[in-house]
Structure 1
């Protein structure tokens, strides 16, 4: 189903990654405060010309370091591209959000995150999300959810939040927009699901926090929307899938937000299961078909869960040696899966498309380390004009250890993982 094409080594621990919505570009935010952006080969072409793609004869193409910089004076906690991909938003533990030109890295605007009113200290961002061309959402450690009007950004402006909500009692761990209604004229979502601590909440752009779930007695860490499911019975065919701190996925029927609907056990490791730290829905036409969610675990494993059948159908490993958590998962414009965790970003492709033999993996990774991923075009300096270049810091923030909650004995269905199925090219 997927085979590792290459690996990009990082100098510091990965905290976050973001993938461009239209170009084969991935950006990473590191514990040192650095932000680095890589341009991948275009991908397999229809005319068979693979000279500049990962579909070349040796299965490998050039990875450009488009730009890199020390963007924040603390860890870079969150990254997000604008809806059109023109800008990259980064948020750091220094309490600053910076908007930069996505292709050059030049900063075009800054936002000072409001201080935590409980202690008048920096309220470190936990996530950032561009909801539409007009609205930027920012979640923080204090559970604040700030809404900014992107039209107010500018080189000299420091906009204040248009709205601030508190959908949870703990830091906001994930945010998933709900698909817009058929009556929507903009085509952009106006409602979204967040997770924080042990609850799930739904917030509306105009009406604020609409509903918060019951206490699930387990930490909720990541989420993704799955549409196009069966509409049997009372189901509307849309569910939000949520990853928990104990290796369990919970499924939430859209419109029924007080409690979870079903449960899928992804990991049964001793002690309650590994945390599910990241997830992504496989794009249409990628993978074995149906609705499949890729999940990244706290021990470096990647597992693939078919929603509907509600079972694990395949497994890979992002990090076999250090077993660092997979904190980033996504798909680029060419349909390649990108996983990030520890000090490595890995790129995965369909071996039938990219023609990578299993024995080539080690050679390919060595080529990256020996300069294939080196900078061809370094457009941004190693520090912003307004920031002092602090070099390599010995005070890098470590990725936070997720708290594991006691598994809840709910009445929903639980499904045992049946190991790896025999998909072509799957290790």
Structure 2
């Protein structure tokens, strides 16, 4: 289904990643507090941009910018709806909004302190719901809503609203598609997971419903629309990944309990945790509704919703077995997986397989070469380095996440270069 065409090594453990909604750009947040943004080549079938693609269409990766953005770990990243800004949240209790192109900080948020301890309430995730609304979840289970129009260079600490949809930290947020009557075209309701429950919150009415205790940790979620409308089904389900290797399906509008279960991993002693998920874009993959799943042991599996079965398997990390904490698809349809100290780019085998064969033949004749780009840093890089935040590992944020050594390794298709350029 997919094959690895690029591997990007990282100097510290990956905590979070975000994929640009319109351009082939990926950003990563590290345990050291660094945020790094990479621009990928235009795509194997699009070689019009000479600065991003080689004559073969594969090209090289450009490090757009990198900086030590937070004094603690960078816990969460999210792009604005239009991709113009990148929001990062750290264990230092600060959220920063940066220009995507330059990395320059344009606005800040001081996360409210945990009222029970009067200490920093570390962010667990961040999500841009619309051009006006930013959602911020924390370890104390708080869900803060901010008006993006009110943000500025001075740290603002007062959210527009605060809710507590769960009893534990908020692990995922999935917007529900707007209704046909919506005038803005943006979501006003979202599903969240936290601890062992699923909840639905409305922008105006607050927390509307919370599910029964599922007796398993819920870690990630994704919306799947366009399913069969049989019986009472509306053709829309939220797929939730749990800490025991099971996907649960929730019918939209029926939030008290799960509708179906799909066992993704049957490892001895309990299934591996499902730490990340992403829906394959239309036109990518085998067709139908397929969800890519990242597991706590570094495995990647693909589940067809409807048939409710695993149809393919890959591995992000075969040696260190680090959890896949980031998973998404860029604007060209390439899959981006992240975990441990590595980000991998995957292309559809039907596209990149033939190209690779041709380039291997060229390499034998001494034709192939590699290109590298220079790194650029912004003003935050002048902060004093303190790697004590490396002691915090992604496994401390999610209880079921398996720990590993986090070592670097070279991959078959090279580092910082696409297939045929290693």
Q: Does 1:325 align with 2:320?
A: no
Contact 2:12 2:390 in 1 (8 A): no
* Aligned positions of 1:264-303 closer than 5 A: 264-303=262-301
RMSD of Structure 2 on Structure 1 (CA): 2.3
**Residue of structure 1 in register with 2:341 after alignment:** 343
Query: Which residue in the other structure is 2:168 paired with?
Result: 170
CA contact (8 A) 1:44 1:50 kept: no
Q: Any conservation in 2 of the 1:326–1:342 contact (CA below 8 Å)?
A: yes
Structure 2: gaps of 5 or more residues: 364-368, 402-422
Q: 1:45 deviation in Å?
A: 3.9
2:27 is matched with: 27
How far residue 62 of structure 1 moved from its aligned partner, in angstroms, is: 1.2
Tell me the alpha carbon deviations over residues 284-323 of structure 1, each in whole angstroms, 9 at most, x when there is no partner: 0000000000000000000000000000000000000001
SS at match of 2:15: strand
**Structure 1 residue 357, shift from structure 2 partner:** 3.4
2:416 match: none
Provide the TM-score with structure 1 as the length reference.
Answer: 0.87
- Measure how far apart 1:395 and its partner are: 4.1
Question: Shift of the alpha carbon at 1:359?
Answer: 11
Mapped contact 1:74–1:396 kept (Cα < 8 A): no
The residue number in structure 2 matching 1:389 is: 384
Q: Is the CA contact (8 Å cut-off) linking 2:73 and 2:389 kept in structure 1?
A: no
Q: CA deviation at 1:381?
A: 4.0
Q: TM-score, normalised by structure 2?
A: 0.88
Aligned partners of 1:389 and 1:174: how far apart in 2?
32
Pairing 1:27-426 to 2, within 5 Å after superposition:
27-45=27-45, 57=56, 60-156=58-154, 158-354=156-352, 355-357=354-356, 372=371, 374-375=373-374, 378=376, 380-381=378-379, 383=381, 388-390=383-385, 392-393=387-388, 395-401=390-396, 402-404=398-400
Q: Report the CA distance between 1:154 and its aligned residue.
A: 1.1
Q: Is the Cα–Cα contact under 8 Å of residues 104 and 379 in structure 1 kept in the other structure?
A: no
**Structure 2 CA distance for aligned equivalents of residues 52 and 281 of structure 1:** 30
Cα distance change of structure 1 residues 123 and 371 upon mapping to structure 2, 3 Å threshold: farther
Aligned partner of residue 143 in structure 1, secondary structure:
coil
Q: Distance in 1 between matches of 2:205 and 2:15?
A: 32
The whole-number CA distance in structure 2 between the counterparts of 1:327 and 1:237 is 28
Tell me, what secondary structure is at the counterpart of 2:351?
Answer: helix
Q: How many pairs are equivalent? A: 393
Q: 1:382 and 1:393, CA in 2 relative to 1: closer, same or farther beyond 3 A? A: farther
Tell me, what secondary structure is at the counterpart of 1:357?
A: helix
